[in-house]
Amino acid sequence: MNFDSWVKKEKPFATMIGMGGGATSLINTSGGGGSGIIASGGIVGEYVDGAGDAYKCHVFTSSGILSITAVNGDGEIEYLCVAGGGGSGSVTGSGGGGGGFRTNMAGNPLSAANPIVVTANPIAITVGHGGKAGSVDPNGGGWTTGHNGGPSIFAHPTSPITASGGGAGKGYNPSPTAAANAGGSGGGGNGGGPGGPEGAGNTPPVSPVQGYAGGPGGSGKGTGGGGGAGGQGSTGSPTDRGGVGGLGQPLAIEGDIYTTPGDGASNVAKNSSYAPGGSGGSWGNYSSSTPTIPNPVNGGEAGYGPTSESWNTRHGAPGVSGFGGGGGGCGQNGEGAPGGSGVVVVRYKTGSMTATAKATGGIVNFYPGSPLSPTGATIHIFRAGGTFTMPGSFNETVEWWMIAGGGSGGGNIGGGGGAGQMKTGTTTVSGPATSLVFIGRGGRVSGPSPENGTYYQRKGGPSGINLPGSPSPIPTGIPYAWQTGGGGGGGGHNQNPKNNGESGTPVGGPTYRGSGGGGCGGPANGSGGTGGPAGNPNPTTTWGSNPGGSGSPNDDGGGGGGAGGGGGTPAGGVGVQLPATFRNPEMIGTPNTSYGAPGGAGGGGGLGYPGPGGGWFWFGGGGNGGQFPTGYGSWGGGGGGAWYGSKPIMMSTGYAGGGNSTGPDNTKSPPGTNPALGDGGAGGVNSGGGGGGTCKCGPSFPSPDDPDGGYYFGGMGGTGIVLVAYPQ
């Protein structure tokens, strides 16, 4: 695989996860015997590798339990443990470092190559959150350094594996002395003066290394790129340009499925990567003679330019959730971006495949008990973009389901973000044909900055699949009829327009859009954004999209609309449950109840999230609105109930992946321990859920965690997902 894989930033920032779903082998296994493991949990896939060995993998994008019920063979497993990426700095901020990368899969340069054996006992999985960005604190607090990502942990009883969160980037400093944050990979150094020192990688040290240092800041106003699992970040240039983030590591542990679609001209595929660094922000402008800074696949794009450039140009973009990328830096007085959450993957040999797939693409799951047909269903799960490829022998009626990215929660008594639009239906497809798949990114988080303009990227991105496909070549776009619109961002006193929730992203006209964000709370409370339609506009397709709720003059933000119902005040709208075709019991998650509510620590691991009425496989919950002047925030997705965890809220997810909100009581932890406790919670990874809103920010409400007056970000929207099923 090619390590030198970059994508270039375009304006506006991409709102789709541009990775890929390549092939899952159609051949029968010819390899050796299996591990004898019978297990459930995570997103479960099967594939045959290049050597002819059959494998089953369990992909955890949220924390949960790998439930091992029997071991009838050697019990050997291979793992990948990627931590959350570091947040970037703000105010000409440097890039965040990629999360720590640890594996024992043979052939990777960072492999520990140590076999691990499991027994018939559950193993706890913790997936690290992405670190928050630094502040553009309007109260002059100067909190420009970002925050490190959270660790990911595979809690094997005798051989536990911990990957350290990525180090945070820093903001501009004309007299830099302190280094950027160390971590799994280090943050980039800030620009100014002699250039700020980079953050160290592989911290704490392990062997082989889990990542590399960031790049040092430039002698001008160019900042360093965050380090990645594939190499050190680049140095900021003396001509005010940021350094490129360090490359990530490709690994075929989920199957050889991640090659990005081509660029449309040459159709050259780009390999994916885990744990890349975010690129460093630039004070300077770009032109045709000085092209934009590239960034590693799944690392955050960097903002650029002086204040004469728009806010949309200057702010950074987040690392991609579920891959541990560092957040991208920003231009002058711009706002940085959070790192992407991590992932934990376990695979083991099975000796044979459950069935043979008739097409290729994504994570392939076999569900013999599916009601789709007497023989069950083959399910292709796209947690990142790619291609669904059907050979000439393919002639099936397929059932498809997709949801776009959710909108972000608002800041400063902010409304909850709206869920991405859900769309499902059936269609008959014949090969040979190839369908391009897009997965929408979640809307970017927003804080109480003075310049969050109309074009600020708070809406979620579209998801889509261009069924029935194209015989040749691979298409470069997807018709609107096969896309879903992203959810709208929650309103806040810092946004523009300052009060109302955003309407969902329209796709193919104003009628078809994602769910609306909730309006902000307070005396100048805002109304919710528009969503729609919901129901069955035609016999073969069902839509799910609803309006956001209005904020209250008593200081509660409105809830974001859910895929299954409208937002309230402050409750987020309910989500929807997957059709029975896709509900394979081996992908039911197990929440960690130590967080005091049914959402669990990060969702529970599995396909989807818990629902407010019980059960699993729920998606598209609306983000909860922020609360003030008293109390705790509430769980997103329509379930209610106070969130009162003792850890940063981005570690927990509400019903159907809806983001949790915060209230003032959430921020009253021992001073200095958890400065992110006032943030809104993120929508669940691949849930399409909206982000949660924040409590009140500003000097009138001091917090022991934020003595500068309260600077909190709304929660990032959840990424989307696409599923395709046909008779097994």
Q: What string of DSSP letters covers 154-218?
A: E--SSS-EEEPPPPPP----SS--SPPPPSSSPPPPPPSTT-PPPPPSSSS--SS-S----PPPP
Residue scoring higher pLDDT (270 or 232) = 232
**DSSP 8-state class, residue 495:** B
Q: Of 683, 38, 41, 60, which is closest to residue 383 (Cα–Cα)?
A: 60
CB contact set of 134 (below 8 Å; sequence gap of 6+): 87, 88, 89, 90, 91, 93, 143, 144, 145, 146, 147, 168, 169, 170, 171, 336
597 neighbors 637 (Cβ within 8 angstroms): no
pLDDT tens-digit readout, 205-214: 999 999 999 9
CB contact set of 107 (below 8 Å; sequence gap of 6+): none
Q: In the chain, pLDDT over 70 holds for what percent of residues?
A: 79
Residue 710 has pLDDT above 60, yes or no: no
Report the alpha-carbon distance of residue 193 to residue 174 in Å, rounded. 5
Predicted confidence band of residue 650 (pLDDT cuts 50, 70, 90): low
Burial of 38 (0-12, 13-18, 19+ CB in 10 A): middle
Place of tokens 């100014």: 192
Res 638: pLDDT: 86
3 state DSSP class of 237: coil
pLDDT tens-digit readout, 282-336: 887 765 555 566 677 788 888 888 878 777 788 888 999 999 999 999 988 888 8
Residue 626 has pLDDT above 70, yes or no: yes
Place of tokens 């109480």: 448
Res 25: pLDDT: 38
3 state DSSP class of 414: coil
Residue 394 has pLDDT above 80, yes or no: yes
Q: Of 348, 494, 291, 261, which is closest to residue 32 (Cα–Cα)?
A: 348
Helices (H), 256-326: 311-314
Find the Cα–Cα–Cα–Cα dihedral 218, 223, 227, 233, rounded to 10°: -50
Res 446: pLDDT: 61
Report the alpha-carbon distance of residue 180 to residue 607 in Å, rounded. 36
Mean pLDDT of 695-721: 65
Cβ neighbours, 10 Å, residue 203:
23
Res 6: pLDDT: 33
**DSSP 8-state class, residue 608:** S
Q: What are phi and psi of 563, to 5 degrees?
A: -65, -20
Give, in order, the Cα–Cα distances in Å from 474 to each of 304, 432, 694, 723, 725: 33, 12, 43, 19, 21
Stretch (H or E) spanning 396: strand 395-403
561 neighbors 573 (Cβ within 8 angstroms): yes
Res 237: pLDDT: 86
303 neighbors 255 (Cβ within 8 angstroms): no
pLDDT tens-digit readout, 223-242: 999 999 999 999 998 888 89
Structural domain spans, the chain: 19-261+272-286+294-354, 385-728
CB contact set of 266 (below 8 Å; sequence gap of 6+): none
Mean pLDDT of 651-661: 85
Predicted confidence band of residue 274 (pLDDT cuts 50, 70, 90): very high
Res 12: pLDDT: 35
pLDDT tens-digit readout, 97-127: 999 999 999 999 999 988 899 999 999 999 9
Give the β-pairing of 6-8 and 270-271: unpaired
Three-state SS for 701-712 is: CCECCECCCCCC
CB contact set of 44 (below 8 Å; sequence gap of 6+): 56, 57, 58, 59, 363, 365, 584, 586, 587
Give the β-pairing of 386-390 and 101-103: unpaired
Res 525: pLDDT: 86
pLDDT tens-digit readout, 150-186: 999 999 999 999 999 999 999 877 777 889 999 999 9
Residue 21 has pLDDT above 60, yes or no: no
163 neighbors 83 (Cβ within 8 angstroms): yes
Q: Of 460, 229, 191, 442, which is closest to residue 326 (Cα–Cα)?
A: 229
3 state DSSP class of 650: helix
Burial of 53 (0-12, 13-18, 19+ CB in 10 A): middle
pLDDT tens-digit readout, 409-445: 988 788 999 999 999 999 999 999 999 898 999 998 7
Residue 521 has pLDDT above 60, yes or no: yes
Report the alpha-carbon distance of residue 160 to residue 179 in Å, rounded. 30
Res 34: pLDDT: 80
Our measurement of the distance from residue 250's CA atom to the centroid of its chain's CA atoms, rounded to an integer in Å, reads: 18
Predicted confidence band of residue 96 (pLDDT cuts 50, 70, 90): very high
Predicted confidence band of residue 262 (pLDDT cuts 50, 70, 90): very low
Three-state SS for 663-713 is: CHHHHCCCCCCCCCCCCCCCCCCCCCCCCCCCCCCCCCCCECCECCCCCCC
Residue 188 has pLDDT above 80, yes or no: yes
Predicted confidence band of residue 486 (pLDDT cuts 50, 70, 90): very high
Residue scoring higher pLDDT (287 or 388) = 388
Mean pLDDT of 607-612: 91
**Cα atoms in the Cβ-side hemisphere of radius 13 Å centred on 223:** 48
Q: In the chain, pLDDT over 90 holds for what percent of residues?
A: 54
Res 2: pLDDT: 30
